[in-house]
Amino acid sequence: MSSGIDVAIIGVGLVGSAVIAQLSSVSPLSSLHVIALQNSKKTLLAEPGQRLALGANGEWKESLASSPVDALSLDELVNKLHEIQAQNKRHIAVVDNTSDDGVASFYPLFVQAGFSVATPNKKAFSGSLDLYSHILHSAMQPEVLAKGPLVYQESTVGAGLPIISTLEDLVITGDKVKKIEGVLSGTMSYIFNEFSPPGGSTRKFSDIVTVARANGYTEPNPGDDLSGSDVARKLTILSRLIPELVNALPDGFTSVDTQSLTPAGLRDEKDADTYVKRLPEFDAEFDELRAKAQANNAVLRYVGVIDVENKVIKAGLESYPADHAFATSLGGSDNIISFTTQRYSNRPLLVQGAGAGADVTAMGVVADLVRIAQRRG
Amino acid sequence: MSSGIDVAIIGVGLVGSAVIAQLSSVSPLSSLHVIALQNSKKTLLAEPGQRLALGANGEWKESLASSPVDALSLDELVNKLHEIQAQNKRHIAVVDNTSDDGVASFYPLFVQAGFSVATPNKKAFSGSLDLYSHILHSAMQPEVLAKGPLVYQESTVGAGLPIISTLEDLVITGDKVKKIEGVLSGTMSYIFNEFSPPGGSTRKFSDIVTVARANGYTEPNPGDDLSGSDVARKLTILSRLIPELVNALPDGFTSVDTQSLTPAGLRDEKDADTYVKRLPEFDAEFDELRAKAQANNAVLRYVGVIDVENKVIKAGLESYPADHAFATSLGGSDNIISFTTQRYSNRPLLVQGAGAGADVTAMGVVADLVRIAQRRG
């Protein structure tokens, strides 16, 4: 791999814990030294010249909780990381495992400080073009900054599935992307794989959402999934990697043509329990959509579509023939993404698999750290 | 990307020409300077301090053909590249676009000379463990050679599809691979997608092979495809990336349990035309296999399987239910590969798409060169 890098981790929830578990248990990763951990309450910093002792059984959790240092501001954290770097003389990568806008808005400052960023947090890349350009301009001017900081974001779309890297490889080798189409939300995938399987179903939409919520497959408020904004964010991230569409969404995901599945009568319902309790009032609407699809031997899927030639970027419910890969091949909360390009023109390049979950999300983040270490370690 | 690398290209047939086309037409790749071209007849070298003028319309072909330098031995080529490097002070990557054993056996010497290698040539990685280990030992001792040469081989399996890189990411982040299963030969894919579609068929095996050969989908002698050795080579390459199986195939692809589809009565037939002419004698055997599968509502696919736990590595004809992804989702000469791992356990990670063709093969090679440039440029 390389002589290694130092890693500062912000956010130690499910994904952050899985990142730490991979870094502390996989021996080829031993040259990636964790030197800082931070959650909303505490910061734990390694002594200069040292790395944090994480322990094989999550002992870092106790060390962090009992740290004498209250959570630093991000400005203070940058200063501390500089102090450590002055001693260690190693490249530093910051891992943001939060879904926080505040941390995301700080990436330009991390990068200006010379630190790389690896993150599953979609916020910085799917918000305003302004922030995005700011990060790009700080990090990715290749000829100027041949040894400068890097920004990696594989897990923002499809978790550990090779989606961002595949799109980047297509583009940099000169392929022309024509269309990207996919089931990009694990929650939406689960709901419609259950509601509209290839063989048809009579289950109620509200029942499926209720079960999904009980199993933790949805956000605490399922309305946050049904809004489609998660898919719109992922489409924004992908579209900005396509040269023709870099500037297509100045305001980010809010500019994506997004169909919300929250019924009109529930748009103002902010209380999650009430939202779920009232959802059966609208089952007939969903039944009707499904009946129409079934009558055409088709299924319903909530998909994201990027049509490059027509500059259409949209998220919404579409129907697919019952023998289409989106109907037959999907199960569970699988993501699937299809790239149609000049080279993959008659038959698309497909990537499919679990698109959510702490371990697979962490895998994408850790693989990004490996690439940073290979290039900057 | 980086300040760039110098590239020496051996083999300028279909894939080599596509590699050159991508390198000469895609502007973000302008820091990858081609400094040498070689085919079986001629060598064309850049002057020190210069790069070769490739031209936007294949002008390099005339330059190579009219080069005063007859094809150098690989020893001589290494010496010339060293002379160029002494002037240019840039990292050199050698691209081997041949399928030649002789060039493959030279990789250890390229690497010892400090040159990286990027190649779609399967020979070096699917032959004896001895050669493979020799390359590994020369190139991939990370701590010793933090800035040493690299060896990339994405296009050896599935052409430009993200297969090798995905397997490497799974492994390096600590996932445990349980099973790899896939349709790995574009030719075998085409033949069985036609012969045994989910809806059944009555077409004759020999007819399909004859059409495939006429369309250039097979080797000049289709027996070379039907032997299964291409699949065995790909399985060898994949298995060596799995820690538990690194040493499982000491003699390489010849150690893989491989089912040849050449009927026993044709094993000794070396003449391609006679081989094809006599194939109809054996249609009844294939009809019988298909009838048995169809009776179970299944299809036939020629697949490669790596079962890590049971240390089984085999290539052969298997039947899959008609609603399996290998039945429904495949078409044309698609490859599909399924990774079942500790993390992707209930539902595998799938990658699918065209697994052969000059442009997509070249894409994998050029993406490898980009990674070498990112790490060594």
CB contact under 8 A, A343 and B332: no
In Å, the largest CA–CA distance within chain B is 69
Tokens of A30: 């031993």
Task: Name which of A363, A228, A369, A247 is nearest A304 in CA terms.
Answer: A228
> Which chain A residue has its CA at the smallest distance from B326's CA?
A329
Report the candidate in B213, B203, B302, B200 with the shortest Cα–Cα distance to residue B261: B302
Q: What is the pLDDT of residue A140?
A: 55
Share of chain B above pLDDT 90, in %: 88
Yes or no: say if A34 and A51 are a contact pair by the CB < 8 Å rule: yes
B286's tokens: 């294939």
Q: Between A and B, how many residue pairs show a Cβ–Cβ distance under 8 A? A: 148
Exposed/middle/buried for residue A207 (C-beta within 10 Å: 0-12, 13-18, 19+): middle
The string of pLDDT tens digits covering residues B114-164 is 999 999 999 999 999 999 988 877 665 544 456 789 999 999 999 999 999
Catalytic residue among B61, B89, B204, B234: B234
pLDDT tens profile B164-176: 999 999 999 999 9
* pLDDT tens figures, A212-229: 999 888 988 999 999 999
Q: Is the pLDDT of residue B227 over 90?
A: yes
Please tell me the pTM assigned to this model: 0.96
Predicted confidence at residue B195, as pLDDT, reads 98
Instruction: Identify the residue whose tokens are 């806008």.
Output: A101
Residues contacting residue A66 through CB under 8 Å, at least 6 positions apart: none
pLDDT tens, position by position, A331-364: 999 999 999 999 999 999 999 999 999 999 999 9
How far is residue B342's CA from residue B347's CA, in Å, rounded to a whole number? 10
Q: Residue B363: is its pLDDT beyond 60?
A: yes
Which two structure tokens, joined as six digits, stand for A42?
């505490």
Helix segments in chain A, DSSP class H: 14-25, 60-65, 74-88, 101-104, 107-112, 123-126, 129-139, 164-172, 186-195, 205-214, 223-226, 229-239, 272-278, 283-295, 325-328, 358-376
In chain A, which residues have their Cβ closer than 8 Å to the Cβ of B351?
162, 349-352
Q: How far B207 CA sits from the closest chain A CA (Å)?
A: 24
Is the Cβ–Cβ distance between B9 and B97 less than 8 Å? Answer: yes
Nearest to B8, CA basis, from B85, B108, B99? B85
Residue A172 with chain B: CB contacts under 8 Å? 26, 28-29, 366-367, 370
Contact A325 B323 (CB under 8 A): no
Nearest alpha-carbon partner for B367 in A171, A12, A60, A63: A171
Contact A370 B331 (CB under 8 A): no
Contacts of A347 in chain B (CB under 8 A): 331-332, 334, 353-354
Instruction: Please give the Cα distance from A231 to A225 (Å, whole number).
Output: 9
Q: B70 is written with which tokens?
A: 């007859």
The closest CB to that of A346, out of B146, B332, B363, belongs to B332
Contacts of A280 (CB under 8 A, 6+ apart): A204, A206
Interface mutation vs chain A, best among B15, B169, B176, B330, most A CBs within 10 Å: B169
Predicted confidence band at A145 (pLDDT cuts at 50, 70, 90)?
A: low
ipTM: 0.96
Residues of A in contact with B349 (CB under 8 A): 161, 351-354
Is residue A143 predicted with pLDDT exceeding 60? no
* Whether residue A178 has pLDDT greater than 50: yes
d(CA A335, CA A182): 7
Calpha distance A271→A221 (Å, rounded):
8
Give the residue from A48, A75, A52, A47 showing the smallest Cα distance to A62. A52
Q: Half-sphere exposure (CA, 13 Å, Cβ side) for A328?
A: 17
Residues annotated in a binding site of B for NADPH:
98, 122
Cross-chain Cβ contact A173/B334 below 8 Å:
no
- Cβ–Cβ of B29/A172 closer than 8 Å? yes
| Residue A364 CA neighbour count, 13 Å, CB half | 27
Residues annotated within a binding site of A: 11-16, 98, 122, 219
In chain B, residues with a C-beta closer than 8 Å to the C-beta of A366 are 172-173
- Residue in A89, A234, A292, A314 annotated catalytic: A234
Residue A323's pLDDT band (cuts 50, 70, 90): confident
For residue B65, report the phi and psi dihedrals to the nearest 5 degrees: -60, -35
Closest CA to A172 of B194, B121, B160: B160
> Whole-angstrom distance between the N-terminal and C-terminal Cα of chain A?
8
Q: What percent of chain B has pLDDT over 70?
A: 97
Question: Would strands A334-341 and A349-354 be described as parallel, antiparallel, or unpaired?
Answer: antiparallel
Instruction: Select the residue from A5, A173, A376 to test the B interface by mutation, using most B Cβ atoms within 10 A.
Output: A173
pLDDT of residue B305: 98
What local confidence, expressed as pLDDT, does residue A1 receive? Answer: 45
Give the dihedral sign, CA A372/A376/A377/B5.
positive
B140 in Cβ contact with B151 (< 8 Å): yes
**Three-state SS at B361:** helix
B234 catalytic, yes or no?
yes
Q: How confident is the model at residue B329 (pLDDT cuts 50, 70, 90)?
A: confident
Mean pLDDT of A272-299: 96
State yes or no: pLDDT of B192 exceeds 90.
yes
Nearest to B354 among A1, A347, A375 (CB): A347
Q: Average pLDDT for residues A134-143, to the nearest whole number?
A: 65
Mean pLDDT score across all residues of chain A? 94
Q: Which residues pair with A300 in a beta bridge?
A: A319
Q: What is the mean pLDDT of chain B?
A: 94
- How far, in whole angstroms, is CA A304 from its chain's centroid? 14
Q: Are A163 and A306 in contact (CB under 8 A)?
A: no
> Which residues are paired to B310 by β-bridges?
none
